[in-house]
Amino acid sequence: MTTFAPVPYPVDLSVKPEVTAFFDEPTNTVTYVVRDPASTSCAVIDSVMDIDYAAGRISYASADRVIDFIQKNGLTLEWLIETHVHADHLSGAPYIQEKLGGKIGIGENITIVQETFGKVFNEGTEFQRDGSQFDRLFKDGDTYRIGGMTAFAMHTPGHTPACMTHVIGDAAFVGDTLFMPDGGSARADFPGGDARTLYRSIRRVLSMPGETRLFMCHDYGPNGREIRWETTVAEQRAHNIHVRDGITEDEFVRMREARDATLAMPKLIIPSLQVNMRGGELPPPDESGKRFLKVPLNTL
């Protein structure tokens, strides 16, 4: 079982990036533009490409909203960060990169995800499983720059093997590792997921200073409340329904495994995995120039 070191880099609460959120209602996904307040540099975290699954049509309204914001504010895009290989929405990172530049980054364990789902979708030897579809593969504790800000990547697996939390000044972008306090935590039953590992990852995130801002990748408005995506370490430790202080690892594992056994697969899991393990690119066209997504039977 993975044992995690302390947070790999000191959290600098004096650096307060400007965070603008874009909520995608069809997938309940939150995309963030994170700006260095001392320059025009920014990063985009967890972008969305739209799909009409029944019609087999891709569109880019969600990504265009982000592009329009960056252009209107005169920002320079330096990074497109994927917190993990999403199973519930398609990444718009290559589309945004084509328009604005920037580097696409993800955790180094993308190679594990590619190996697993390369077999599930029978991708053959032409599908590269080395993460080369991305510009940067982050290791635990790696740092990178957004203008004058230093960001660091913290490995937080459990939901998937490649999950990373990206900490930028007093803001941490947790992907699917955590939900809002009344939403709890993400499932841990996908291939390579593990509830015990997830608990340890969450406790690592919650070891940061209490005033650290935490930004969720999803929110579903539990019990009909309005959509929210920002909380703090202190609020999570006090109120998270799954992992607040006082809930033991064994208690969490029992709850998470029992809950996961009742959950259906995300409705966009099949297209999402095939696209996102390619860095947001669609599968290559066949000899006629048409692109197809595969539906594996009795596999997922």
Q: What is the pTM of this model?
A: 0.95
Q: What is the pLDDT of residues 32-78, one digit of tens each?
A: 999 999 999 999 999 999 999 999 999 999 999 999 999 999 999 99
CATH of the domain at 37: 3.60.15.10
Rounded Cα distance between 212 and 16, Å, is 10
**CA distances (Å), 232 to each of 5, 170, 174, 213, in order?**
21, 10, 11, 5
User: How far is CA 283 from its chain centroid?
Assistant: 21
Q: Is 279 domain-assigned?
A: no
Q: Is 13 domain-assigned?
A: no
Q: What is the pLDDT of residues 104-119, one digit of tens each?
A: 999 999 999 999 999 9
What is residue 245's three-state secondary structure? coil
Q: Is 103 domain-assigned?
A: yes
Q: Is 29 domain-assigned?
A: yes
Tell me if 57 sits within 8 A of 132, measured CB to CB: no
Q: Who wins on pLDDT, 184 or 3?
A: 184
Q: Is 211 domain-assigned?
A: yes
Q: Is 281 domain-assigned?
A: no
Q: How many domains does the chain have?
A: 1
Give residue 123's domain range. 18-273
What confidence score (pLDDT) does residue 9 get? Answer: 83
Q: Is 9 domain-assigned?
A: no
What confidence score (pLDDT) does residue 21 get? Answer: 98
Q: Is 297 domain-assigned?
A: no
Q: What is the pLDDT of residues 271-285, one digit of tens each?
A: 999 999 999 999 999
